[in-house]
Structure 1
Amino acid sequence: MTCWTLRIGIFLIASGLTLASPVADILPLGFWSGIGAPDISGSASSSQSAYVRVVPIKEDRSIEFVLIGAGLFLVATALFFRRKN
């Protein structure tokens, strides 16, 4: 179990760092909904054309920090129990 916990923690850290880096700027707008994640953009699917208005705002990095924090917690927990055994 600690091996899976360690791997999931490393994956969460890597995904959080990737999203916080400039690499995330080249992801398409519907990237997360294309891989099965829920659509949080608020756009309803209909036959009408949808337009996106781009407005410069301060970026909210809370999701990235939550992913990195959860990953660090899982890695630390896995390493603690691995060392204990």
Structure 2
Amino acid sequence: MTGLPHRLVEFVGALREHGIAVGPGETVDAAAAVAVLGLADREQLRSALAATLLRRSGQRSTFDALFDLFFPFAVGSSETREESG
């Protein structure tokens, strides 16, 4: 398994390792969100994954730290364009 699906599975595993309960249903929902959104807008992806994977607002700081590790700035994202411009 390679690419984005593998990255998402690893991300969900890391969330679980850090005490965030993510079930198969949430993982499937997250995969559907990734399929629709792609990687073009990193912050939109962050919001969608948080909405599908988190059950408590107190989990957000852990989620954000792990998201930054697993989904660094995407090629073509607004952050990348601003840094190069």
TM bucket (normalised to shorter chain) is: under 0.3
More helix as a share of residues: 2
TM-score (norm 2): 0.27
Question: Larger Cα Rg: Structure 1 or Structure 2?
Answer: 1
